[in-house]
Amino acid sequence: LLVFSGQSNTRLASAICANLGIPLGRSETLKFSNDNLMVRYKESLREGDVFIVQSLSAPVSDSIMELLLMIDAAKSASAGRVTAVIPYYSYARSDKKDEARISIGGRLVADLIEAAGADRVLTMTLHSPQVHGFFKIPVDHLSAEVVIANHLITHVDGVEEGVVLAPDAGDIKRASALARRLNCNLAFIDKRRVSDTRVEARSLIGDVAGRKVFIVDDEISTAGSLVQAVNIAKESGAGEVYVATTHGVYVGPALERINSLDVVEVASCNTVDVSDEKRQECPKLSVLDVAPLFA
Ligand code: R5P
């Protein structure tokens, strides 16, 4: 078994290898002056069971291209089987033609990964679980639910008295599974997306008054959805608010917004690398390790 890493999340790839008790495979990616990428493996892959770890995080297009090149180079180096390990599949947010004449990036990226030669995909918490079906090759779709649940159970007193709050209707199924695991109640928010960066929380369905609230979302990007969710929870009388997400993307105003929010913490899994600088800038961030699950 050989594990290699693209550049988007080498910390997670190293942690996966540490869990497996094997060294991270040696490879390098070069960027030429014309912006082209080139990948080189520095050890033999012949007949090997090769796993390439690459989150599709910023810079997203470079991350995708690097993954495609790594798959292609592994195939042409006679790897036996190539698994694309994609902890964060960002294009899962583009899963349908909900306006006229728009692209469906989730499907196109799946097609590219297959065309490059991947035999299998291992991923976590797709924004739209149906993106799984865009692949014709086998996909193992992991969930961070157990990691998030264990974190809350060990860090919060009286979890079962609290309420899991889904910040929009699309998250209800995942939130409900977590609420079952925590043995607590569920509430959700009627959220409308106005634009890429603006959302409106219309109403909160459920009872959060005087209770600890656990907001769970698949992804925090600009934290716009989170701000709305926290505000409406507090207006509805929520007590302490804890936030947990699988993918902490934290772009644009996200950290500034989180710093000014009345929440105890914002935990995210290490599917997307949260730099030490970001963690220093925003002490409310904490990182949950999903490397054992991937390993
Ligand atoms: C939306 O449907 C997702 O579940 C997340 O709530 C959303 O992607 C978060 O984006 P932002 O942090 O920019 O509001």
Atom of ligand 1 nearest to the CA of 249: 12
Mean pLDDT confidence for 107-135:
97
Per-residue pLDDT at 199: 74
| Residue 192, pLDDT score | 80
3-class DSSP state of 177: helix
DSSP conformation letters of 13-44: HHHHHHHHT-PPPPEEEEE-TTS-EEEEESS-
191 is catalytic: yes
Ligand 1 mean position, distance from CA 46 (Å): 41
At 210 the pLDDT is 98
User: Residue 194: its pLDDT value, please?
Assistant: 74
**Model confidence over 158-174: pLDDT tens digits?**
999 999 999 998 889 99
> Which tens digit of pLDDT belongs to each residue from 27-39?
999 999 999 999 9
Domain positions in the chain are 2-142, 145-289
CATH of domain 145-289: 3.40.50.2020
End-to-end CA gap in the chain: 11
Q: Please tell me if the domain spanning 2-142 has the same topology as the one spanning 145-289.
A: yes
**Average pLDDT over every residue of 144-148:** 97
Average pLDDT, the chain: 96
The Å distance, Cα 143 to ligand 1 centre, comes to: 17
Distance CA 66, CA 7 (A): 8
Closest residue by Cα to atom 9, ligand 1, is 220
Residue 193 — very low, low, confident or very high, per pLDDT cuts 50/70/90? confident
> In the CATH hierarchy, which fold is given to the domain comprising 2-142?
Rossmann fold (3.40.50)
pTM of the entire predicted model:
0.95
pLDDT band at 68 (very low <50, low <70, confident <90, very high): very high
26 alpha carbon – ligand 1 mean position (Å): 35
Predicted pLDDT of residue 88:
98
- 236: DSSP letter: T
Report residues whose beta carbon is within 6 angstroms of any ligand 1 atom: 167-168, 170-171, 199, 217-226
Task: Give dist(CA 247, CA 87) in Å, integer.
Answer: 9
Please tell me the distance between residue 193's alpha carbon and the centre of ligand 1 in angstroms.
9
Nearest-atom number in ligand 1 for the CA of 221 is 12
Q: Is the pLDDT of residue 225 over 80?
A: yes
8 A C-beta contact, residue 182 and residue 152: yes
- pLDDT at 273 (0 to 100): 98
pLDDT at 201 over 90: no
User: What's the pLDDT at 283?
Assistant: 97
Which residue of 88, 174, 220 sits with most ligand 1 atoms within 8 Å of its CB, as the best mutation to test the pocket? 220
From 42, 75, 97, 191, active-site residue: 191
Give the atom of ligand 1 at the shortest distance from the alpha carbon of 225: 14
